[in-house]
Amino acid sequence: DKMAATALVEGSSGNDAVAEGLLDLLRPAIQQLDLHVNSVRKSQVELREHIDGLATELCRINEHQKVALDLDPYVKKLLNARRRVVLVNNILQNAQERLRRLNHNVAKETARRKTILETSGVFASRSPSKP
H helices of the chain, in order, are 2-64, 72-125
> With 70 as the cut, is the pLDDT of residue 130 above it?
no
Task: State how far the alpha carbon of 76 is from the alpha carbons of 46, 52, 55, 86, 127, in Å.
Answer: 19, 11, 8, 15, 78
> With 60 as the cut, is the pLDDT of residue 2 above it?
no
> What predicted TM-score, i.e. pTM, was given to this entire model?
0.54
What pLDDT is recorded for position 84? Answer: 92
> Which helix (H) or strand (E) element contains residue 69?
none
